[in-house]
Amino acid sequence: MGPAAPRRAAGGTREGSIAMHTRTPGMSVALGSCAAVVGLGLLAPAPALADTAQQDLRVAQWSLDAVGAAEAWERTEGAGVTVAVLDTGVDDTHPDLADKVTVGTDYTGQDLAPGDEHYGHRGTMLAGIIAANGHGREHSGGVMGVAPAANILSVRVAPEAGDPQAGDPAARADALAQGVRYAVNQGAQVIALPAGEGAGASDAEQQAVTFAVEHGVVVVAPGGDGGGPGPEYPGGYDGVLAVGAVSEGGQLTASSSRQESIALTAPGAAVPTVAAGGGYTEADGTAAAAAFAAGAAALVRAEFPQLRPEQVTEAIVSGARPAAGTQGQPGHGAGLLNVPGALAAAEDAAQDVPPFDPALAEEADGGLPVPAWTLWAGGGVLVLGLLVAGVLAVRRSMANPYGLPPREEAPAPEPEAPSRRGAHRAARSRK
């Protein structure tokens, strides 16, 4: 796909929209109340469940408690669902993301890979919020994501903030649009878009989002970190679930956008998550909040695959829990993400939607001009018509439309009498 008219640095993020305080596995991880034990969890296996005093070595995650993720895991953990993370790349070597990350195409024009200095810092943090699965025995070390059994497709559409080799933003203006279409074609059921840079809308990006929704994909995006009431993209596109950020106390963060397109809020301040290269960090901003909503969408898709994208987003919004005193305030939307509430709302919606095979639905969405049953019916009529035509042809070949008498068979010719010379020779031979 050739580059579109340069309008924005597609997929780029405002520097500082996600704060990072990275710890390496050899350091103590001072996140939450369990800072004294996290380092041990990274260096030694966790006790077995049979031990009398099971010790939880995972990082304390107030954000998971805030959205009710553990309660939702009693029902589903998102198995079978792929979430595409469109950002700066995802480090597939982190132990909390082991065996669940597929590194896809890089649309930035850079030749970088996991392990490079300017690769995957933001994207890895978001992937951890969505689908980290801890590590060690019984996954008792590290951090967990909202949908710990979901898979991640990494699509690199933006360079890291401050990367001196990022190049001209105009050269990657269509990276986000290409990344969205690529994720759809790779079978992602949920797409998490990156934070924008406050630039205007792009027709190519809107068309790509519409393409994704029409193909059954839920698209989630940060509401924006400009702090103002004006629209910010990609959260402002039609068909996108835009998410605002709140702190641990439930207050809207200072930088979170106050635009009307914000559908709901999620944790977006000092959120514990994984860091590229192995360690742990904290993430801030609406990109982190959108990752929580993407994880919730993965849980809903895993449990109710028959729901269309608009039904999934409606369930997530209607299941939100309004905070006291925030109703009607710009930037809060329907309230704080509540994953069990989203699943309950999705269950109500699914009662009126018969289950179906997602693969068959994808084929139907792929452009069949008529329903599949009409093709089967037409094929049956064609076969029946051929059989009838064959029977009529046979009967016509055996018919006598003019009433002619049956043909008489000619009598068999009598044998010729032997000539005299022959008879004479026969008599002499008898003698």
Residue spans of the domains in the chain: they are 32-355
Q: Which two tokens stand for residue 140?
A: 């008792």
In this prediction, what percent of the chain has a pLDDT beyond 90? 53
Q: What pLDDT, in 10s, does the model give residues 130-152?
A: 999 998 877 778 999 999 999 99
According to DSSP, the β-strands at 101-106 and 82-87 are: unpaired
| Residues 193, 220 contacting (CB under 8 angstroms) | yes
Range scoring the smallest mean pLDDT among 53-57, 107-111, 150-154? 53-57
Q: Is the pLDDT of residue 32 over 50?
A: no
pLDDT confidence bin for 233, thresholds 50/70/90: very high
- Kindly state the average pLDDT of the residues 313-340: 90
What is the reported pLDDT for 417? Answer: 54
The pLDDT-based confidence of 169 (bands split at 50, 70, 90) is low
The residue that leads in pLDDT, 353 or 123, is 123
Average pLDDT on 12-28 reads 42
Asked whether the predicted pLDDT for residue 385 surpasses 80, the reply is: no
Lowest-confidence segment of 16-25, 87-96, 213-222, 235-244 by average pLDDT? 16-25
CA distances (Å), origin 331, targets 119, 255, 296, 334: 31, 11, 20, 9
- Residue 313's pLDDT is 98
The CATH number of 32-355, from 3.40.50.1010, 3.40.50.10950, 3.40.309.10, 3.40.50.200, is: 3.40.50.200
Q: What is the pLDDT of residue 413?
A: 56
Question: What integer is the mean pLDDT of 352-377?
Answer: 56
Query: pLDDT confidence of 330, banded at 50, 70, 90?
Result: confident
pLDDT at 265 over 70: yes
- What's this model's pTM, rounded to 2 decimal places? 0.72
Percentage of the chain with pLDDT > 70?
A: 68
Rounded mean pLDDT, 2-18: 38
Asked whether the predicted pLDDT for residue 335 surpasses 70, the reply is yes
Q: Is the pLDDT of residue 14 over 50?
A: no
The pLDDT of residue 165: 78
Q: Per-residue pLDDT for 33 more than 50?
A: no
Report the pLDDT averaged over residues 280-285. 96
Instruction: Categorize the per-residue pLDDT at 56 as very low, low, confident or very high, splitting at 50, 70 and 90.
Output: low
Q: Is the pLDDT of residue 353 over 50?
A: yes
